[in-house]
Amino acid sequence: MLPQVTDDPGLQVLRIERRLQRERAARLEGEAIAEKGLRELYEKQQRLALVETIAAASNQSASIEGAFNLAIKEICKYTEWPLGQAYIVHCSSEDLRLEPLQARHVTDEDALRPMIEATSATSFVCGEGLPGRVFASATPVWVQCLATDRNLPRADAVVACGIHSGIAFPILVGREVAAVVEFFSYKDQEPDAALVTLLGQIGIQLGRVIERKRAEDRLIYDASHDGLTGLPNRLLFRDRVDRAVARARRISGEHFAVLFIDLDRFKLVNDSLGHAAGDNMLVEIAQRLHGVLQQHLAAYTLARLGGDEFTVLLEELDSPNKAMQIGKLLIDALRTPILIDGQEIYASASIGVTNITGTEPSPETPLRNADLAMYRAKSLGRGRVELYDIGLHDIAVERLRLEGDLRRALVNKEFILHYQPIVSLETHEIIGFEALIRWQRGPQDLVFPGDFIGVAEDTGLIVLIGGWVLREACRMLAGLQARYPRPEPLAISINISPRQFTQPDFIDQVRRAVLNSGLEPRSVRLEITETVAIGDPERTILVLTALREFGVRISLDDFGTGYSSLNYLHRLPVDTLKIDRSFVTGLGLTAEGTQIIRAILVLAENLKIDVVAEGTEQEGQIRQLADMGCHYAQGYYFSKPLALPDLDALLDSSAPLSKVAARTAD
Amino acid sequence: MKGIIFNVLEEVVARQFSRDVWEDLIDNAGVDGAYTSLGNYADEEFVSLVTTSAEVLGKTPGEILRWFGQSAMPLLATRYPYLFESHRSSRDFVLSVNTIIHPEVHKIYAGASCPFFHFKPSDNGSMMMAYHSKRKMCMLAQGFIEGAANHYHDHADVHHRECMLNGDKKCLLEIKWAA
Q: Which pLDDT does position A654 carry in this prediction?
A: 60
Q: Is residue B53 assigned to a domain?
A: no
H-helix or E-strand containing A381? none
Q: Is residue B4 assigned to a domain?
A: no
Per-residue model confidence as pLDDT tens digits over A491-542:
999 999 988 998 889 999 999 999 999 999 999 999 998 777 666 778 888 9
All residues at 6 or more sequence positions from A406 whose CB lies less than 8 Å from its CB, including other chains: A452, A455, A456, A459, A461, A465
Q: Is residue B154 assigned to a domain?
A: yes
Q: Which pLDDT does position A563 carry in this prediction?
A: 56
The answer to whether the Cβ–Cβ distance between B37 and A187 falls below 8 Å is no
* Chain A CB within 8 Å of residue B78 CB: no
Nearest to A42 among B36, B37, B107 (CB): B107
* Chain A CB within 8 Å of residue B88 CB: no
* Chain A CB within 8 Å of residue B108 CB: yes
The answer to whether the Cβ–Cβ distance between A31 and B38 falls below 8 Å is yes
Q: Is residue B21 assigned to a domain?
A: no
Q: Which pLDDT does position A569 carry in this prediction?
A: 74
* Chain A CB within 8 Å of residue B42 CB: no
The answer to whether the Cβ–Cβ distance between A42 and B108 falls below 8 Å is yes
Q: Which pLDDT does position A376 carry in this prediction?
A: 87
Per-residue model confidence as pLDDT tens digits over A581-614:
888 888 877 788 788 888 889 988 888 899 999 9
Min Cα distance A50 → chain B (Å) is 15
Average pLDDT, rounded, for chain A: 88
Chain B CB contacts of A39 under 8 Å are 104, 107-108
| Enclosing domain of residue B168 | 90-179
Chain B CB contacts of A27 under 8 Å are 36
Q: Is residue B163 assigned to a domain?
A: yes
Per-residue model confidence as pLDDT tens digits over A107-135:
988 999 999 999 888 889 889 999 999 99
Q: For the CA atoms of A563, A334, A376, A320, what is the dihedral angle to 10 degrees?
A: 180
DSSP E strands, A357-406: 385-387
Alpha-carbon distance values, A600 to A540, A573, A587, B40, B112 (Å): 22, 17, 13, 111, 105
Phi-psi group of A635: left, alpha or beta (phi > 0 → left; psi -120 to 50 → alpha; rest → beta): left
Q: Is residue B107 assigned to a domain?
A: yes
The answer to whether the Cβ–Cβ distance between B36 and A187 falls below 8 Å is no
* ipTM over 0.85 threshold: no
CATH number where B167 lies? 3.90.1520.10
Q: Which pLDDT does position A662 carry in this prediction?
A: 38
- Distance between CA A33 and CA B36 in Å, rounded? 13
Per-residue model confidence as pLDDT tens digits over A425-480:
988 889 999 999 999 988 889 999 988 998 898 888 999 999 999 999 999 999 99
Per-residue model confidence as pLDDT tens digits over A317-341:
888 888 999 999 999 999 888 888 7
- Distance between CA A568 and CA A343 in Å, rounded? 16
Q: Is residue B176 assigned to a domain?
A: yes
What are the residues of chain A with a beta carbon less than 8 Å away from any beta carbon of chain B? 27, 31, 34-35, 38-39, 42-43, 80, 187
Answer yes or no: are the C-beta atoms of A261 and A349 closer than 8 Å. yes
Min Cα distance B139 → chain A (Å) is 27
Answer yes or no: are the C-beta atoms of A437 and A415 closer than 8 Å. yes
What's the rounded mean pLDDT across residues A342-361? 88
Nearest to A39 among B37, B99, B107 (CB): B107
pLDDT at A655 over 60: no
Q: Which pLDDT does position A396 carry in this prediction?
A: 79
Min Cα distance B160 → chain A (Å) is 31
pLDDT at A661 over 50: no
Per-residue model confidence as pLDDT tens digits over A215-261:
988 999 999 999 999 999 999 999 999 999 988 888 877 889 999 99
Q: Which pLDDT does position A643 carry in this prediction?
A: 92
Eight-class DSSP state of A448: P
Q: Which pLDDT does position A61 carry in this prediction?
A: 82
Average pLDDT, rounded, for chain B: 91
- Classify burial at A359, counting beta carbons within 10 Å of its beta carbon; exposed 0-12, middle 13-18, buried 19 or more: exposed
Q: Nearest 5 degrees, angle CA B153-CA B158-CA B159?
A: 165
What's the rounded mean pLDDT across residues A352-357? 92
* Percentage of chain A exceeding pLDDT 90: 51
Determine the residue among A16, A21, A29, A42 to mutate to test chain B binding: the one whose Cβ has the most chain B Cβ atoms within 10 Å: A42
Per-residue model confidence as pLDDT tens digits over A157-193:
999 999 999 999 999 998 899 999 999 999 889 999 9
Answer yes or no: are the C-beta atoms of A355 and A257 closer than 8 Å. yes
Q: Which pLDDT does position A658 carry in this prediction?
A: 38
* Percentage of chain A exceeding pLDDT 70: 96
Per-residue model confidence as pLDDT tens digits over A264-323:
878 778 877 888 889 999 999 999 999 999 999 888 999 999 889 999 999 988 888 889
Grade residue A666 by pLDDT with cuts at 50, 70 and 90: very low
- What is the residue type of A226? D
Nearest to B108 among A27, A35, A80 (CB): A35
What is the C-alpha R_g of chain A? 42
Count of domains forming chain B: 1
Determine the residue among B95, B108, B109 to mutate to test chain A binding: the one whose Cβ has the most chain A Cβ atoms within 10 Å: B108
The answer to whether the Cβ–Cβ distance between B38 and A38 falls below 8 Å is yes
The answer to whether the Cβ–Cβ distance between A34 and B107 falls below 8 Å is no
CB burial of A561-586 (b: ≥16 within 10 Å; e: otherwise) equals bbbbeeebbeebbbbbbbbbbebbeb
H-helix or E-strand containing A248? helix A234-250
Q: Is residue B100 assigned to a domain?
A: yes
Q: How many residues does chain A have?
A: 666
Q: Which pLDDT does position A91 carry in this prediction?
A: 82
